[in-house]
Structure 1
């Protein structure tokens, strides 16, 4: 694990990270946002909510925070929180570049983000991130790499990323889509001067979408830290929307469906950090019960029946409305 602050942490929740995708902008595809955020989604309201979540997460031992250029003002909100707490030096900060936020703080925008993995976008967004987070940034990831992404073959981009790594920044990538495993394996083959470029990988993995698991195990074996995102399947595994099998196991455990869903991921030997995408402190507290969940073989077998074909899973995800 490239982050000693995580590798040496002993708090049970230290390997649960907090992702700010759901609270850094007024619109997102997570189910239940009407109840989670309500009508007041002003910049000040979401800044305050983000800071409340960060305070609660830090108090409970969470030490990784994940943001992105396309998550509205997530970098700004995190930077404000860090700057107001100069004594906190043990938080690992990861951000991403490759998508540009275009919704202009509207939940009803026709286009919320635009993808571009070109060198010019990297240089622009790297400067934007640096202006906000400066030397507090630990990890910079290419956002949503797919097998056809030019970021996998652009040698000039690789050279710039290697330069950033030489200056102490950890370089990683995230994946999305039904061919995540192919993207992970292609990225593992990227080298600069004979050395692997990437040291972390962040992928979507949950009880519904498991197709990337073998590739993530290979990445872990190759020395990369694996970060798991969308463990709640954009709200599809949360209590009101969870399938019956998950609800039954959660009832047996006496905890929420969310805690069980995240516990299932934490069991994977290659899972370094599992992200909570909580939008409320109550959700976060429930998520953080995951390390205490002990699933038996019968429960694991029943949860395994929920796995979907990856193409069907991603098609359904693509149909979730921004709201």
Structure 2
């Protein structure tokens, strides 16, 4: 399993990951992009941003790197960075298939990505990923699986994914939406020739949306590596927009809201990797300070009061504008 490399790592921040969604394409749903990204957001400008972030992450001890076919040119940027630094062999590389980027590098596109969990989509997108990342790909996940996804019930797709796994690439899923727990439990039941197919699950979990927690604990107990995404709720848990309880605890501990919010997740026994979606090196460094935030039971109880009903959380997320 590639995540054994993280388990053996000696850096305090090895179990942080860097996701390149914020800098792989010009538009995303996290606010503040005009402040965080260079004017124009050309491919060359975002390539430079991505490479600076990757350099900063590696220097900070981050060893998991996350991309996807739908993250614009993120796989391309990461592949270039890896080839320019052949000495970097101790990172774990994960990508995802199942969404196709359709915005053509426009911030005002009507549709930015299209979902397709068919076997044909897998074959097309895996070939594209392999061309960009080659043998550096450690993990390939189905992107944003929901309970109604055909990827959970397609035996031909399962057989093909099992072939990929037999060739050395770990196979997993990511989940999204208010039905994450159901999707995770359904994925745990998928087997090929009597063996579990999926070995990782990447899910949204944060101070506002905790509904997947019990299912993620079950996945961990079953031997899967759990990767936590959207730990900052697409910016809602960072800065002045953060809930009052989070801002208060941040003030008491002397750390930023984002570091405190991520520190809560680091305390969870089932959280194997916690992703940063930083757009700048400054944001990344602030995020990884979570490793040294000291939270007591009183802090944790007050922070738990921020939880939202899952349907309301995901409705709010669906209404965030691409910018």
Instruction: Report the TM-score when normalising by structure 2.
Output: 0.99
Provide the secondary structure at the position in 2 that maps to 1:114.
Answer: strand
Q: Per-residue CA shift, 1:244-268, capped at 9, x if unaligned?
A: 1111101111111000000001110
Provide the secondary structure at the position in 1 that maps to 2:275.
Answer: strand
Q: Per-residue CA shift, 1:261-310, capped at 9, x if unaligned?
A: 00001110000000000000100010010010111111101100000000
| Equivalent residues in 2 for 1:158-307, closer than 5 Å | 158-307=158-307
Provide the secondary structure at the position in 2 that maps to 1:288.
Answer: helix
Provide the secondary structure at the position in 1 that maps to 2:41.
Answer: coil
Q: In the alignment, what sits opposite 1:4?
A: 4
Q: In the alignment, what sits opposite 2:96?
A: 96
Provide the secondary structure at the position in 2 that maps to 1:240.
Answer: helix
1:40: Cα distance to partner?
Answer: 2.7
Q: Distance in 2 between matches of 1:291 and 1:145?
A: 30
Q: In the alignment, what sits opposite 2:318?
A: 318
Structure 2 segments unaligned to the other structure (5+ residues)? none
Q: Per-residue CA shift, 1:27-52, capped at 9, x if unaligned?
A: 00002112111423000000000000
Q: Distance in 2 between matches of 1:266 and 1:204?
A: 14
**8 Å CA contact retained: 1:20, 1:66:** yes
Q: Distance in 2 between matches of 1:2 and 1:187?
A: 20
Instruction: Report the TM-score when normalising by structure 1.
Output: 0.99
| Alignment size in residue pairs | 323
Q: Distance in 2 between matches of 1:20 and 1:170?
A: 20
1:243: Cα distance to partner?
Answer: 1.1
**8 Å CA contact retained: 2:25, 2:74:** yes
Q: In the alignment, what sits opposite 2:127?
A: 127
1:58: Cα distance to partner?
Answer: 0.2
| Equivalent residues in 2 for 1:117-156, closer than 5 Å | 117-156=117-156
Structure 1 segments unaligned to the other structure (5+ residues)? none
Quote the RMSD (CA, aligned, Å): 0.7
Q: Distance in 1 between matches of 2:214 and 2:277?
A: 24
Q: In the alignment, what sits opposite 1:58?
A: 58
Q: Distance in 2 between matches of 1:109 and 1:57?
A: 31
**8 Å CA contact retained: 1:2, 1:225:** no
Provide the secondary structure at the position in 2 that maps to 1:94.
Answer: strand
1:4: Cα distance to partner?
Answer: 2.1
Matched, 1:40 2:44: no
| Equivalent residues in 2 for 1:19-38, closer than 5 Å | 19-38=19-38
Provide the secondary structure at the position in 2 that maps to 1:14.
Answer: coil
Q: Distance in 2 between matches of 1:128 and 1:120?
A: 13
Provide the secondary structure at the position in 1 that maps to 2:128.
Answer: helix
Q: Per-residue CA shift, 1:50-102, capped at 9, x if unaligned?
A: 00000010011100000000000000000000000011111100000000000
Q: Distance in 2 between matches of 1:32 and 1:295?
A: 28
Larger CA deviation: 276-285 vs 37-46? 37-46
**8 Å CA contact retained: 1:25, 1:105:** yes
